[in-house]
Amino acid sequence: MSGKLIATIYFYIISAGAIVLMVIGVFNVVNFFVNSTQYEKYPLRYNMISNCDNPYGRGIDTYPAKPMLVPNEATLSAEEVKFNKEQCLKNEESDRKQHQVDDIKNAVTFPIVGIILFLIHFPLARKQTKDV
Distance CA 53, CA 116 (A): 48
User: Could you tell me the CA-to-CA distances from 55 to 22, 69, 77, 96 in Å, in that order?
Assistant: 45, 16, 10, 21
pLDDT at 117: 94
- Give dist(CA 82, CA 118) in Å, integer: 54
Residue-level pLDDT at 132: 62
Digit-by-digit pLDDT tens for the chain (132 residues) are 688 888 889 999 999 999 999 999 999 999 999 999 998 889 888 767 777 776 655 555 555 555 656 556 667 778 887 888 888 889 889 998 999 999 999 999 999 999 999 999 999 889 888 876
